[in-house]
Amino acid sequence: MEYVILDLEWDSVYFTPEKRFINQILQIGAVRLDSDFNTKSVFSATVCSAISKKVTSRFAKLTGITSEIMREGIPFEEAVDAYNRFAEGAQITMTWSNSDLYTILENEELLLKDKVKFIFNKYLDLQKLVQSDLALKGYESKNQISLEAAAELSGIDTEGFELHTALDDCRVCAELLRKSYNEQRFNSLIKDTSSPDFYARLKFKPYSISDINDKQIDRAQLDFLCPECGGVTKRISRWKYRNRWFVSDFQCKKCRFKFNGRVAFKKTYDDLQVRRKVCEFRTKKRKTKDDMQPLSETVQS
């Protein structure tokens, strides 16, 4: 069993054919590991942009890759071919978070026209593995942790590494892998990229439903029971769509209690997420749109 840790550095550039900015890959770095996570070989390539002759000042400051260094690089397709030869035969590819995968997909589709692809057999998000290990050691934040912060919390000295360069970020990732490896947790995070829905899931963008008549909405989710007595209620105002919530006023048929009911629908790749709120009823307009105090809230899929 051999592994590859892959890291990319990209810069934001305006892509005229799409009339939008894209994240263009300008550096590829990788470390190949044996079955014991010892480093076998390394890979590094700087990409010469086919879109822009300059890099942004932020990118240059962060990575040390100036416009001059970028222009001395190799074409993107050549860099990808070279990486594929380096990584061929490795069973699992790892990156620090799956954000690199979105950038890979974008660059493959727009710049390579899907003629060349990064080789993936099976994939693992190394950030999830490390963060789960840190959580067991008392790290409580649910936000995604940066590579630098993870190294510091894991006691890894990054003094000799140039962080935000692709190859050295891979080397730090390798150190973190060795420190946080647990066979059960590691195996549970492995994803098969040959699965039909692997890339479809990555490409899918969750969205909020804004049409009250959308067929995906279960009409029963638009009904509310009285928060006071549990009785059946009647809607007494029209539905309004505001800040991703459908909002309406309700009155209990039994105790006559009035309240504000809110429901939001978010479509994900796997299901439809539903959030419901019961808020205080207000007869006068307030200065802000979302000032009503929630009496209860539920979330379900």
Q: What is the tens place of the pLDDT at every residue in 237-247?
A: 999 999 999 99
CB 83 within 8 Å of CB 108: no
**Pair 72, 194 in one domain:** yes
The whole-number pLDDT of residue 284 equals 58
**Pair 79, 222 in one domain:** no
Domain that holds residue 278: 207-300
The whole-number pLDDT of residue 119 equals 81
Please give the model's pTM, rounded to 2 decimal places. Answer: 0.80
Please state, for a pLDDT cut of 90, what percent of the chain lies above it.
82
H helices then E strands: how many in the chain? 9, 13
pLDDT, average across residues 128-148: 90
In this predicted structure, the answer to whether residue 287 has a pLDDT above a threshold of 50 is no
Give how many domains the chain has, as a whole number: 2
Structure tokens that stand for 65 in this block: 């890759």
C-alpha 172/C-alpha 182 separation (Å) is 18
The whole-number pLDDT of residue 294 equals 65
**Pair 263, 181 in one domain:** no
**Pair 236, 90 in one domain:** no
Domain boundary among 187, 203, 219: 203
225 forms beta bridges with 232
Give whole-number Cα distances, 43 to 6, 84, 127, in Å.
9, 10, 21
Q: Where are the beta strands (DSSP E) in the chain?
A: 3-15, 20-33, 39-46, 92-95, 122-125, 191-192, 207-208, 233-235, 240-242, 245-252, 258-267, 272-280, 294-300
